[in-house]
Amino acid sequence: MIPVTQPYLPERSRLDKYIDGIYERCWLTNNGPLVQELTQRLEAYLGVENLLLVGNGTLALQIAFRTLGIQRPVGKRSAEAITTPFTYIATASAIKWEGIEPVFADIDANTWCIDPERIREKISSRTRALVPVHVFGNSCDVESINKIARQHRLKVIYDASHAFGVKLGKQSLLSLGDASTLSFHATKLFHSIEGGAIIFKRKRDLKKARKLINFGITGPEQIEALGINAKMTEFQAAMGLSVLDEITQNLNGKERVYKTYENLLKAGYYAASVTFQKQHTDIRENHAYVPVLFNDEDTCLKVKAILHQNGYQARRYFNPSLDTLRILTKRKHKCRVSRDISSRILCLPTYATFEDLHIASIARLIRDLSKTTNSIERQSLSGITKAL
């Protein structure tokens, strides 16, 4: 079975050199030299400041909330954070885990990112933050979100897990908001096996967060805050540095795969009834995912099944829409657009070395099923017309 994605593994000899250094120093964690080097190199590569490496992407969100004081209750009731229902469960569960009530605002039907107008409808006296997601690396409407945040004095924490290396104009998308968080999970475009990062707008927040990720310890016999263990290890940093050394070929491979899918499915012999995500007009994509939208859920499920029968794994990212999960909220949010998109979306297999012949095979399977479905629909419609 060909998986929906495959972790990028750098040359073993490259990784071994970093690991040899770990063995020589016998320094495995607690802000070791490789963690420091990766921090500096990521800041330079991404064009950001105040970057903090942590153990995983979920911890990145939780530490960001704690650092910015989002979790403090409002009177006797919990604070609220407005977020999107069309995202991975970790976004909302991290909010809930910190004692904050997630409030879901619906998404834009074309970009699949949170709709600013729906955000406005959800703001209450308990709202303390906005947690938008750059879905599949596509930029949110950051100008509108920033305007709303200023008007209501809200913090903005972007879940930018998919947006590694993405630029909006000449600016890194990761530099926006009070904080942006990244996931470096093994399946991500850039990874450290497990890991994550927070990019803070203000240096004082970075300094505070550094204390929080190390139990609040600031010296051998000094504890200044209530903290937790969220540190990245030297072995994680070694993998991160190795992957970063080869990031250009990984990016180029992902772009080739995405554009091949796009060219085959949009026009010509393999053209099929699918819709691609509408990208922000001023964005430089990273092509980390290949999500396509079908006309209805039935077609989506049939495509997923036929791909599986032919040895290809596709995933329904993101299904279900999170506003339907009672473990997250008991409110009836009625995010109709998110529910609709989540029922019809499928992420197709992609990784840097994915071969064109497999992409063509997947495009053919989708096209053939689309043709069959459309033919059945036309016959059904013709029968109804004759009966009338």
Specify the fold of 12-245: Aspartate Aminotransferase; domain 2 (3.40.640)
Alpha-carbon distances of 293 from 33, 112, 340, 358, rounded to whole Å: 45, 11, 10, 20
Q: Same topology for domains 12-245 and 247-377, yes or no?
A: no
**pLDDT, tens digit, for every residue of 153-164?**
999 999 999 999
Domain residue extents for the chain = 12-245, 247-377
Q: Using 50, 70 and 90 to split pLDDT, how confident is the model at 381?
A: very low
**Model-wide pTM > 0.85:** yes
**pLDDT, tens digit, for every residue of 171-225?**
999 999 999 999 999 999 999 999 999 999 999 999 999 999 999 998 888 999 8
Q: Using 50, 70 and 90 to split pLDDT, how confident is the model at 373?
A: low
Q: Using 50, 70 and 90 to split pLDDT, how confident is the model at 365?
A: very high
DSSP letter at 136 equals G
Distance CA(51)–CA(53), nearest Å, equals: 7
Average pLDDT of the residues in 7-26? 98
Distance CA(239)–CA(245), nearest Å, equals: 10
Query: How far is residue 318 CA from its own chain's centroid?
Result: 11
Average confidence score pLDDT of the chain: 94
CATH of region 247-377 = 3.90.1150.10
Sheet with strand 155-159: strands edge to edge: 51-54, 196-200, 179-183, 155-159, 127-131, 80-83, 101-104
Average pLDDT of the residues in 257-285? 91
Q: What is the CA radius of gyration of the chain?
A: 22
Active site residues: 188
pLDDT above 70 as % of the chain = 96
